[in-house]
Amino acid sequence: MGRGRKLESLKDFERALKSKYGIGQGAEYKPWLRIQDVKSNGVRSVIYGRKAKRDHHMLSSIESQHFQLAEFSNRVLDIREQFPIFPLNFTQKVAKTLGVEHPVHPNTKEPIIMTTDQLLTIDSPQGNIYHAISIKPEGESGNLRVLEKTDIERVCWELLGVKFSYYTGNKLTRVQSSNLAWATSPFREHPQCFSYDQINGALSLLSVGQYFLDDLCDQLISLNITSHNEALLLIRFLIADKFIDVDLSTNISESGLIDVKYVTDQQGGILYGAS
């Protein structure tokens, strides 16, 4: 991990722009803020994106939660975290219009570039559209200053014609996100590959209904579909790459149970791996 950057003044912002922070999309995008650039009370993490093929910088556990849910959506094409709202005088003008103070750096007291937690690129019948998401823990929802800054964000995005939402999460989304992290984590930066014979063999054992993971693993091993070390990994892969649709509302790793809602047709002719 590189050193943290100083983002305290207009010169710092100009330097960051020249280095292409906050610019680009997909693998080329560099978040305006990385985990080493800011102090955060949240659980910070770096998650390698399966779609964007780059490290995503999450400044809190709830940002990670939303990322897992958004990335798993078929409609979400790209997620750009810590996305800057330019230019600075735009957010300043909006803040003034709303009658609230624009965010400043705690040391220099200079106005800072405001960022939105996650900007989604979404596939729609009308083409690609954008959706800006402010992500905050439920406990911050009543904090006046948090609400003021969120209001600046909201108005900026609405003026730009972009949908804006405020996400706090709940018990269900925490469980769903945990399940997705469990299923997808082995298939991110260094994906495991399975042959179409292995995938078809696993799919042939499944139909709509509930299964104990241990029993499924035993069947995969006894039928020589996969090795002991890779049996559970194959099940996780089927979920991660959507060969099967499972109920995500119950913690899978804790319960040791999957509730299969849908099974795709058997596949053929290619080697599958998380990409």
Q: What are phi and psi of 248, to 5 degrees?
A: -100, 5
pLDDT range class, residue 271, cuts 50, 70, 90? very low
CB 208 within 8 A of CB 258: no
**Rounded Cα–Cα distance for residues 72 and 158 (Å):** 26
- Per DSSP, the three-state class of 187 is helix
pLDDT range class, residue 1, cuts 50, 70, 90? low
pTM across the whole model: 0.93
Per-residue pLDDT tens digits for 243-261: 999 999 999 999 999 999 9
Per-residue pLDDT tens digits for 229-243: 999 999 999 999 999
Across 125-256, the runs of DSSP E, i.e. the strands, are: 127-135, 163-167, 193-194, 209-212, 244-246
Q: Residues 14-38: what's their mean pLDDT?
A: 96
Query: Helix 171-184 to helix 231-240 angle, to the nearest 10 degrees?
Result: 120
Delineate the domains of the chain, giving CATH numbers in brackets.
10-169 (3.40.1350.10), 187-273 (1.10.10)
Which residues sit opposite 123 in a β-bridge?
128
pLDDT at residue 270 in the model = 40
CB 164 within 8 A of CB 157: yes
**Rounded Cα–Cα distance for residues 202 and 192 (Å):** 16
